[in-house]
Amino acid sequence: MLVPVVCLLAGVGFAASVRAARGTDLRPQSNGNLAGLVQAAERDVHTQEQDVADLQRQVSAAATDAGAGDSAVSQSEAQISPLRPAAGLGAVHGPGLEVVLNDAPGPIVGVDPNQLVVHQSDLQGVVNALWAGGAEAMTVASQRIIATSAVRCVGNTLLLNGDVYSPPFRVVAIGPSAQMQKELDASPAVHLFKQAAEFYGLGYTVDDQTDVTLPAYTGPIGLSFARAVTR
């Protein structure tokens, strides 16, 4: 008597699985591959970045066309244009500093592996010291830093503007080299990293740059934030 009941329940289960899967695998193998997921997400980000760049070019072209026949729009464009480089939306060049941070070349017996990699606090310490030293513009891993940029690390990889970067991490800042160097020397976070570099073999170099060109930020500039749900 139980056989028909079991068969009925099994049939209901199979039907529910088919309906939920809609012809796809409920547990595809790719979902278990973290590296594959990250690469897929990166490709998606790059595609969307390209779409954003295309839309920004269309907006700029439309604003230019509108300014040609509207004095109010033309006046607004003239006021905005000088502010774009300072906001990170225009390419800039000038003298400055290049700071490169890198992981230790290999494992050391008896040493915690976490001591041999560049951490988020190390990068943030360098970035903050350069801003404090009067940096006018900055890139990290060739990505322009703007007011909404966040330097985040997961393990020994950097997450910045939707992309993932591996060491060495190259930080370039345009500004007064002497003052920026002074702030780097005075930074407690940078001092700790320099000590680790000397003891464990991590990489830390600072070089003067007579003239470097930093690209404009081309990603989205809108702010995304959580909203309270009202009932």
pLDDT tens for the 231 residues of the chain, in order: 555 545 555 565 555 555 555 555 444 444 446 656 766 776 776 677 677 667 767 776 776 676 666 677 667 767 777 777 777 888 999 999 999 999 999 888 888 888 899 999 999 999 999 999 999 999 999 999 998 888 888 877 898 877 888 999 999 999 999 999 999 999 999 999 999 999 999 999 999 999 999 999 887 776 666 778 877
Report yes or no: 214 and 142 within 8 Å, Cβ to Cβ: no
Spatial CB neighbours of 131, under 8 Å, sequence gap ≥ 6: 138
pLDDT at 230: 79
pLDDT at 149: 87
Q: Which amino acid is at 200?
A: Y
Q: How far apart are CA 227 and CA 231, in angstroms?
A: 13
So where are the chain's domains?
92-214
pLDDT at 131: 97
CATH of 92-214 given 3.40.50.2300, 3.40.50.1970, 3.30.70.1880, 2.120.10.10: 3.30.70.1880
Query: For residue 178, what are its two tokens?
Result: 């002497």
pLDDT at 6: 52
Query: For residue 159, what are its two tokens?
Result: 């997450």
Residue 165 three-state SS = strand
Q: Which amino acid is at 90?
A: G
CB atoms within 10 A of CB 151: 21
Phi then psi dihedrals of residue 100, to 5 deg: -120, 125
Report yes or no: 124 and 189 within 8 Å, Cβ to Cβ: yes
Question: Quick one: which of 139, 190, 184 has its CA closest to 160?
Answer: 139
Spatial CB neighbours of 209, under 8 Å, sequence gap ≥ 6: 95, 96, 97, 98, 172, 177
Angle at 158 between CA 55 and CA 177, to 5 degrees: 90
* 93-126 exposure pattern, b = at least 16 Cβ within 10 A, e = fewer: eeebbebbbbbbeeeeeeeeeeebbbbeebbebb
